[in-house]
Structures are given as structure tokens and as C-alpha cells.
Amino acid sequence: MAKGSFHGIYPMLYTFFDRAGGIDRTAMKRQVDACIAAGAHGIAILGIVGEYNKMDVRERRRVLEIVADDVAGRVPLAVTVPEPSIAGQIEFVRAAEAAGAAWTILQPPPVKGVPEAELVRFFGAVAEKAAAPVGIQNNPVNLDVWLTNAGLKTLNRNHGNVWLLKGEGPVTAVQRTIEETEGAYDVFCGLAGKEMPMSLRAGCVGCVPAPDCIDLQVRLYDLMRRATSQAEAEAEAIHKSILPLLHYMTHSPEHMLCYGKRFMARRLGLAEIHARQPALAPTPFGERVAQHHGQDMGVLPV
């Protein structure tokens, strides 16, 4: 049973840039509106596909402000907090809550070799200053620092407002996290939703994928919630139809930003995108592969 009301598909938005290198407000609004029109249960920002690591804090604040304004309370907004210090995370959490964020997702500081007790204290110091529920991003696949299940359990025991988790990894590892933390967290799976049906069966309350397949993944989630054999069979068929695209997009974060972001731009009806450097440059063959795997996905209505 979920501890709270947050569940479903929270697409982690791409950050679109304009020709001058600034945040493209028009493209961002179209992305927000398309995701909500497709049935997204919430919106998430400033994850790896949001290129938080290529923006300074002023730009991240700008993304927060314009997305919060465009969401306008229609669905819950989850905001990733990647600042590397306790003070920086506290300040960003307060800014996110002031903008209307329903919950925040704290990312571990990129400092390897720190004792886990120090990471627990780091997150706890931030959580103590948060007014809204707090989530943790635990991503052993793409991040260098994460908490063990015992560390997560300790963090929740010490700070009761920390009860959401973006748990990214093989479904077997996510299932162990749910089991070993004894239901302390409402867990959202990640990794583009490549194992979403099984992740939901394992006890996840939702998924935080890139928005490429938002309409189909919302449909998949809603079918799984029905918990009938017919609905689950339909959900599995949807999953199988999009799995080649999800697999292709997730070869690496930069690969997804190269091809996934362009694929999403086409689904949004955007004529062009402007990459934030450094970035991979697409090849004609790479573009054809994405188009082949996603050939049945048209433009998303807004």
C-alpha cells in the first residue's frame, strides 16, 4: 500500500534550449502541455535527461520557475535537487516548494568514498528544512554515490518526511529495496521504464521515465492498475511494442540526449532543437534507428 497519494507516470522532462543558448520557454510549455494531455500523473524536472549537470544554478532555477508556471497545479510537480552541498540543497528545496513543488528528489552529492552515515546525515540535514515530502534518487546505474537499503531505512526512521524513492536499477534490486526497507518508501522505478510491468508487480507505485513514450506508458500503467488478466495482457503488449525503442535510447545518458531528445522534439512538432554542449552529434543512421523503433508514434496532441 502506498504511503501517500503520489503515483503513476511522472515524465522527467527534457530541457530544451533556444538558438541563443537560453531555456526555450515555448518548447518547454509544449512539452508540459503534451505530457499532461497524454495523462501524466505528475511532472518531474532536472533529472539526468534534464541536463542539470550542464546548467548553473540560475538556469536550474529558471527551469523550475517556468515549468511550475506552466504546470499551474494541474498535476503534482516533483523537482530534482542536484546541488552538491547541504546549504545549496536546502536553498533549492525552499525555492522548489515556494514555486509549488509537491515533493522534491534529493540527489546524492558527487563525492565518492564518503561513509554512508555521512550521506544519511547529509540528506537528513536537508530533509529537516523541507516542508513538503522528500524523495531520494538512488541510481547505482548512472550515479557514483547511493545508499544501501539499510541506509535508506535509517534515513526514513530518522526523518519521517523522507518516504519517496526514485529507485533505479534492475527490477530484482528494486524489489529487494522495497522488501528490505519494509514498505518505508513509495518507490518509483526509472531507467526509462524498461521493466515497468514487473516493477509495478514488485511494489513500485509508478515510474519516472523520459517523456518519449508518455502516452503509451500512461496507458500501460493504467491497465496494470486494473489488475485483471486481460488488462495485464494488453499492458504487456504495449510494453513489448515500445521496448526496442527504450532499449535503444538508454545505451547511455548522452545517447538518450542525442536521439531521445530529438525523437521527443518530433513528437512535439518542434522543427529543431539546439544541443547544450558538450553533446553527442546524431548520425543519419542513428536517426533512422530511432525512427524505425518509434515509427508508429505520431505527434502528441497538446
Specify the pTM: 0.96
Q: What is the pLDDT of residues 214-236, one digit of tens each?
A: 999 999 999 999 999 999 999 99
Distances (CA, A) of 145 to 28, 113, 116, 119, 140: 30, 8, 10, 9, 7
Q: Cell numbers 519517496 label which residue?
A: 164
Pick the CATH number of 8-293 from 3.40.47.10, 3.40.50.150, 2.30.30.40, 3.20.20.70: 3.20.20.70
Say which residue, 162 or 143, is predicted with more confidence. Answer: 162
Residue ranges per structural domain of the chain: 8-293
Asked if 282 contacts 259 with a C-beta cutoff of 8 angstroms, the reply is: yes
Helix axis angle, 86-99 relative to 57-71, nearest 10°?
20
- Quick one: pLDDT band at residue 4, thresholds 50, 70, 90? confident
CA distance to 21, 157, 173, 205, 214, per residue, from 178 (Å):
41, 15, 9, 11, 25
Nearest to 101 by CA among 125, 67, 50: 67
Half-sphere exposure of 90 (CA within 13 A, CB side): 10
Residues 5/42, Cβ–Cβ less than 8 Å = no
- Give the CA distances from residue 275 to residues 15, 17, 250, in Å, rounded to whole numbers and listed in that order: 10, 7, 18
